[in-house]
Structure 1
Amino acid sequence: MDCIFCKIVAGQIPTKIIGQTSHSIAFLDAFPLAKGHTLVIPKYHYAKIQDMNTEENSDLFSLVHDVLPKVDELTGSTLVAVHNGKEAGQEIQHVHVHLVPRSKDDSAGPIHSMFEPKKFSDSEIQEIYKKLVSQ
């Protein structure tokens, strides 16, 4: 497999490991957006969160929970982000959680600053709601 994260897990690419469990690993991002930018990934290859089984999912987010306070100490605030699929901005098709230390002068904004505002009619919202609750 030609997945950079799988190569990191296999020890083929060196990295700065922050923590790990039997199913997950946390390490410094090689191309950080801020000092301390950390990635938390499952050790097995999954493209999307919903592809993971419950045990591995729980393990991944448990490690996120354990590492987050360490990252948060750097600036006092941390962006936790998951791009779940190519269209969502996922560049490497292996589940990964970004922990990005944030500060008031880092030039990034809230999530709503990433998108052009959209206006949906009540009927469109109702239609989406029905689809989501019926699944």
Structure 2
Amino acid sequence: MTVPDDPTCPFCAIAAGRTPAHIVLADEVAVAFLDARPVFKGHVLVIPRGHVETLGDLPGETLGPYFARVQAVSLAVEQGLGAAGTFVAMNNRISQSVPHLHTHVVPRHKKDGLRGFFWPRVKYEDQPEAATYATRLREALEAIS
């Protein structure tokens, strides 16, 4: 089942290439890109290609392929960025800043300061630094595939 995009959705605009983002994965199932307000550098959002607001709205036949992409991005964050682990999470409606299903994949290290659901935010120094993180993740995804 192909789900169309929503022309008013900012994540659909990224998936369609209408809005620039640091893309680390893009295929027929999902698009993954660096979060513009990362918890830690290398924080990735994975979204289904079509407009789906919540996990419950994701078509059943897409569920497995979507989470295979989330799993691959999680491995890429660890291998490509040298993270000790990842925090993988999603919100459904409550605290969902954009009403388009998205899974956070956040690089983690022991004593990194992340406690519970308090998510301090950091900034990339500049666009070239963000591009470097995206490149490292793309390379790790290619190595995993």
Q: What TM-score do you get using the length of structure 2 for normalisation?
A: 0.70
Q: Kindly report the root-mean-square deviation, in angstroms, between the aligned alpha carbons of the 2 structures.
A: 1.8
**Shift of residue 55, structure 1, vs aligned partner:** 1.9
Runs of at least 5 residues in structure 1 that lack an aligned partner in the other structure: 115-135
Report the CA distance between 1:92 and its aligned residue. Answer: 0.6
Q: C-alpha separation between the residues in 2 aligned to 1:91 and 1:110? A: 18
Structure 1 residues 79-126: Cα deviation after superposition (integer angstroms, max 9, x where no partner) = 0011011x2x11110000000011223221246x89xxxxxxxxxxxx
The within-5 A match list for 1:99-114 is: 99-110=105-116
User: 1:96 maps to what in 2?
Assistant: 102
Out of 21, 44, 47, the residue aligned to residue 41 of structure 1 is 47
Instruction: Give the residue type in structure 2 aligned to 1:71.
Output: V
Matched, 1:25 2:31: yes
Identity of aligned residues (%): 38
Aligned partner letter, 1:79: F
Q: 2:88·2:105 contact (CA, 8 Å) conserved in 1?
A: yes
User: Residue in 2 aligned with 1:51?
Assistant: 57
Question: Which structure: larger Rg?
Answer: 1
Q: Deviation digits for residues 44-91 of structure 1, max 9, x if unmatched?
A: 111111111112222210101111111123221110011011x2x111
Tell me, in whole angstroms, the C-alpha distance in 2 between the residues paired with 1:65 and 1:108: 21
Question: Given residue 95 of structure 1, which amino acid in structure 2 is its aligned partner?
Answer: L
**Is the 1:21–1:59 contact (alpha carbons within 8 Å) kept by the matching residues of 2?**
no
Return 5+ residue gaps in structure 2 as ranges: 1-6, 120-145
Task: Assess if the C-alpha contact under 8 Å between 1:40 and 1:96 holds in 2.
Answer: yes
Q: How far did residue 19 of structure 1 move?
A: 1.4
Residues 79 and 98 in structure 1, CA contact (< 8 A), matched pair in contact too: yes
Task: Give distance in 2, aligned partners of 1:97 and 1:7.
Answer: 17
State the match for 1:68 in structure 2: 74
Mean Cα deviation higher: 49-58 or 39-48: 49-58
Query: Are the equivalent residues in 2 in contact too, given 1:20–1:63 (CA < 8 A)?
Result: no
Corresponding letter in the other structure for 2:88 = V
Quote the residue 1:131 is aligned against: none
Q: 1:6 aligns with which of 9, 12, 23?
A: 12
CA 1:55 to 1:21, structure 2 compared with 1: closer, same or farther past 3 Å?
farther
Q: CA deviation at 1:38?
A: 0.4
Aligned residue number for residue 124 of structure 2: none
- TM score, norm. by length of structure 1: 0.75
